[in-house]
Amino acid sequence: MNQYETVFIMTPVLTDEMVKDAVAKFEKVLKENGAEIVHQASWGLRKLAYPIQKKSSGFYHLVEFKAPATLVDKLELEFRRDERILRFLTVALDKYAIAYNQSRRTNAAKPVTEEA
């Protein structure tokens, strides 16, 4: 199984509940097709670099998962079919990217201490 990272942007007109439902839908697609979710993060509402479908902001969500290569096509097909999704990008991670993501998560979890 390969490890992948997907970031998708949802339309800003959604309520918090609708955003959670959309994320749950894509989690379900991953789990039903044998994927193991390694990490996910909601980046919240952010301004877009350029307008997409006349919208200047969107809800960002990141999912890192392990899955067979055939699952990526199924997941991206679901993204294309869902009108709530403005954009998505899925990338395969190599061993260096996997190590970087793991170190980034562990460093983010450590409390920051001030030294005098």
> Mind listing the pLDDT tens digit for each residue in 69-115?
899 999 999 999 999 999 999 999 999 999 999 898 888 767 666 65
CATH C-level class of 2-109: alpha beta
Nearest alpha-carbon partner for 85 in 29, 32, 22:
22
Global confidence as pTM: 0.85
Instruction: Enumerate the domain spans of the chain.
Output: 2-109
> Mind listing the pLDDT tens digit for each residue in 4-35?
999 999 999 999 999 999 999 999 999 999 99
* Ordered strands of the 85-92 beta sheet: 36-52, 55-67, 2-10, 85-92
